[in-house]
Amino acid sequence: MHDSVTVAGTSRSGTSVRIDGARLLDRLDRLAAIGGGEDGGVTRMGFSDADQEGRAQVARQAVEAGLTATVDAGGNLLMRRPADHRRSARPPIMVGSHLDTVANGGRLDGAYGVVAALEVLQTLHEAGTETDHEVVAVGFANEEGALFPQPFWGSMVLAGRLDALPSEPEDYAGRPLREALARAGGDLSQLKTAAWAPGSLTAYLELHVEQGPVLERLGRSIGVVESITGRIQMSVELHGRAGHAGTTPMEGRQDPLVVAARLISAVQSLAQEEKLCRVATVGRMEVQPNSPNTIPETVRLDVDLRDSDPARLDAAERTVRTALAALARSGDVRAVIESTMRSAPVQTDPRIRDTIAASATELGFTQQTLPSGAGHDAQIVADLAPVGMIFVPSIDGVSHVPSERTAPEDLVAGAEVLLRTVLKL
């Protein structure tokens, strides 16, 4: 158990409401145990069994708190106060993040924002606080795209961007999303019913760990996010000719892994040397048949490009395509490249930024305005509502790894600022 950590916030009606810091930290521990590995890493890839278990745990906690928990057709978990407490006719304020993780990722990325959103909602409910807008807590489905390669799945559905999603998505092993989504309580044939219309939300707020070193280096406890990076993801397939590693002469080989290695180097160079985009990564590769004494037949890999300028991102994408064509030609392999995801860089809403900053000041927390280099559901929800994001420091600036951590007092501080921002909006 964590020591009780509480703070007072004040609603417009003057009601004093308090975040239960110990409950927040306990719930984070309990969630991290689902899909938790020996090394402290957490694997709850979107629509996996562990993800399903984690979502069920959070939903159960909401229901035990007297809230409702429903799953929309896209698999998003929506938590609300019971109907008789939804007194406001004004468009709701949505608060949340995602519940899925990358493979062997951290315990806080996404989970923190959802658990804190539940904490805010429960706190308001228990205090009987009337708010001008209904507050809806959300756990978005499959933000990471670690198993089903459609990152931002849940927020794309919520934002009605169905045309940008494949009609019958599959995971990396070719298993259909349709079935996994149904197990999670969604329905691939009814995605339209999960879309919220532009203007149907007053605001969307997301609390998240920074995942970088800025706040820690500056010694600030709250980050006010001013922008979220743009991103392009591409999948590449290279088809060569398999053969015996000992008997096939070097001359005339069609080795897709050699081409992949050159492509990876070109991708790194386009960010590092050529500065065509801020960062460029190949983080995933599959080799077939993946045998030490066989020339590979097929290689699949994913390229991730990020920049705050969409024109630079487009230019970087063109460079990858041109480089791939030349490398495939010289290596005598067949290449197929597809852009699988494109998210525009977004600015957060200035009024929400000011409100977050004022909330942090009133609560006595140090703060810093900063951009986000990671992608977030907020940048998708920005299609339908003004968005704001709050960051808390990441110890050693690391994320998507088992050692991802944030100091407990910073986790509680972030939730306090989230609650106060909701009340001020």
Q: CB of 375: closest distance to ligand GLV in angstroms?
A: 4
146, 401, 35, 188 alpha-carbon torsion, rounded to 10°:
-20
206 binds, among Mn ion, ligand GLV, none (CB under 5 to 8 A by kind): none
Q: CB of 225: closest distance to ligand GLV in angstroms?
A: 13
Q: Note every long-range contact of 260-269, with CB atoms under 8 Å and residues 24 or more positions apart, other chains counting.
A: 260/236, 260/285, 260/299, 260/301, 262/327, 262/331, 263/236, 263/301, 263/320, 263/323, 263/324, 263/327, 264/301, 266/320, 266/323, 266/327, 267/303, 267/305, 267/320
Instruction: Please name which of 326, 253, 338 lies closest in space to residue 300, comparing C-alpha atoms.
Output: 338
**Position 356 contacts ligand GLV (CB under 6 A):** no
Site map 52..91 versus Mn ion, x via CB under 5 A: ----------------------------------------
Give the other-Cβ count within 10 Å of 163's Cβ: 7
Q: CB of 101: closest distance to Mn ion in angstroms?
A: 7
Residues 397-416 close enough to bind ligand GLV by CB under 6 A: none
Number of residues that bind ligand GLV (CB under 6 A): 3
Q: CB of 156: closest distance to Mn ion in angstroms?
A: 15
414 binds, among ligand GLV, Mn ion, none (CB under 5 to 8 A by kind): none
Residues 97-116 close enough to bind Mn ion by CB under 5 A: 109-110
Q: CB of 420: closest distance to ligand GLV in angstroms?
A: 26
Cβ distance to ligand GLV smaller for residue 166 or 283:
283
Distances (CA, A) of 292 to 239, 245, 287, 295: 18, 8, 11, 8
Which residues are CB-neighbours of 248 under 8 A, at least 6 positions away? 295
Q: CB of 283: closest distance to ligand GLV in angstroms?
A: 9
Cβ distance to Mn ion smaller for residue 42 or 236:
42
Cβ distance to Mn ion smaller for residue 113 or 186:
113
**Position 375 contacts ligand GLV (CB under 6 A):** yes
**Position 374 contacts ligand GLV (CB under 6 A):** yes
Q: CB of 56: closest distance to ligand GLV in angstroms?
A: 23
Q: From the CA atom positions of the chain, what is the Rg in Å?
A: 23
**Position 144 contacts ligand GLV (CB under 6 A):** yes
Cβ distance to Mn ion smaller for residue 54 or 110:
110
Cβ distance to ligand GLV smaller for residue 69 or 146:
146
Which residues are CB-neighbours of 243 under 8 A, at least 6 positions away? 253, 294, 295
Instruction: Please name which of 423, 312, 411, 372 lies closest in space to residue 22, comparing C-alpha atoms.
Output: 411
What type of residue sits at position 381? V
Q: Which residues pair with 282 in a beta bridge?
A: 303
Cβ distance to Mn ion smaller for residue 110 or 256:
110
Residue located via tokens 């990858």: 320
Instruction: State whether residue 65 is helix, strand or coil.
Output: coil
375 binds, among Mn ion, ligand GLV, none (CB under 5 to 8 A by kind): ligand GLV
Cα within 13 Å of Cα(300), Cβ side: 8
**Position 51 contacts Mn ion (CB under 5 A):** no
Using CB under 5 A, list all residues that contact Mn ion.
Answer: 109-110
Q: Interface with ligand GLV by CB under 6 A: which residues?
A: 144, 374-375
